[in-house]
Amino acid sequence: MTLTLTSLADLLARLALWAIVAPLLPGLINRVKAWVAGRRGPPVLQLYYDLGKLWRKGVVVSTLASPGFFIGPVVTWVALLGAAALVPLGPLGATLSFRGDVILLVYLLALARFATAWAAWETGSAFEGMGAAREVSYAVLAEAAIITAVLTLSVHSGSLSLAALLAPTPGAGAALLAAGWFIVLLAENCRVPFDDPNTHLELTMIHEAMVLDHSGPLLAVVLHGAALKLMLFAMLLVQAVVPLGDLSASVAGAVLWVGVLGVAVGVGLVESLLARYAFRRVPLLLTTAFLFCWFALMLAWKGGVA
């Protein structure tokens, strides 16, 4: 009984860590963008303030909205938190780990996307339906790159467990995998050059178009889920290309968090130095991400390093 309570306390503590730290990354990205633009910008903790404010507000609901409008954001958030529980935290390991957990991770990410699009469709809004269609069309290429990256790590490690998969060997394959995964991170989190999280022009929106009708606590759940997803992809990127297992526990933990913050800084720099791409160019960029991961897979399969 004591072991069960201890395990439960550890599970809750790790999930709380994910939930508390995740909103820091979007704030850091916005701070970097402000620094590059030469302005003061919002505080790093701005998203925490926004979430607290949204939780105290009411919800405005369209007369066309069905129960799916309320269920969708919650399912998305739970799926992303469940996916986060599978991702190892460096030397601390994963909250939940078993053989084949990487397959469950991919399906949870797909479920989160489906639930977000489902909630958008349930509003009866043409703009939200358009945003959902764009999101799903981009996901076809993004998921191909994700699966190829997973196959690369699986071939290299000979395992389907995330704890074993995320044990890379530095080399050309790791560089290719990092490049491909970083592009996927930008696409999956609707960042520039795929989408602009600060835009309010409906005709060019993707993710923002899907949450136009959300307000109050529902919008808070959406924003926090987006921060969770960003942190999840950053964690995977760092651990997929940095050999943390060769370091001591304290150094590995420090390198992991520095790497995650470095990914956030990188996203901020990309958004500061690049403009949003035209829709016709987005598939080409996602195809490039897939090819990076594919070449990394070929190196791992033919006996190179990944």
Spell out where 60-143 has E strands: none
Which pair of structure tokens corresponds to residue 257? 């968090």
**Cβ contact 100:161 at 8 Å:** yes
- Would 20 be classed as within a structural domain? yes
- Would 29 be classed as within a structural domain? yes
**Cβ contact 218:202 at 8 Å:** no
The total number of structural domains in the chain stands at 1
Helix (H) / strand (E) element for 7: namely: helix 2-21
Burial-class residue 181 by CB neighbours within 10 Å (0-12, 13-18, 19+).
buried
pTM exceeds 0.85: yes
The tens place of each residue's pLDDT in the chain, 306 residues long, gives 344 666 788 888 999 999 999 999 999 999 999 999 999 989 999 999 999 999 999 999 888 888 999 999 999 999 999 999 999 999 888 888 899 999 999 999 999 999 999 999 998 888 888 889 888 999 999 999 999 999 999 998 889 999 898 987 667 889 999 999 999 999 999 899 998 877 666 666 778 889 889 999 999 999 999 999 999 999 999 999 998 888 899 999 999 999 999 999 999 999 999 988 888 888 999 999 999 999 999 998 876 544
- Would 92 be classed as within a structural domain? yes
Burial-class residue 185 by CB neighbours within 10 Å (0-12, 13-18, 19+).
buried
- Closest residue by Cα to residue 177 from 29, 25, 305: 305
- Would 284 be classed as within a structural domain? yes
Helix/strand/coil for 106: helix
DSSP state of 277: P
- Would 204 be classed as within a structural domain? yes
Distance from C-alpha of 166 to C-alpha of 240, rounded to nearest angstrom: 5
- Would 109 be classed as within a structural domain? yes
Distance from C-alpha of 108 to C-alpha of 83, rounded to nearest angstrom: 6
- Would 306 be classed as within a structural domain? no
- Would 31 be classed as within a structural domain? yes
User: Considering just the CA atoms, what is the radius of gyration of the chain in Å?
Assistant: 19
* Domain span holding position 140: 2-301
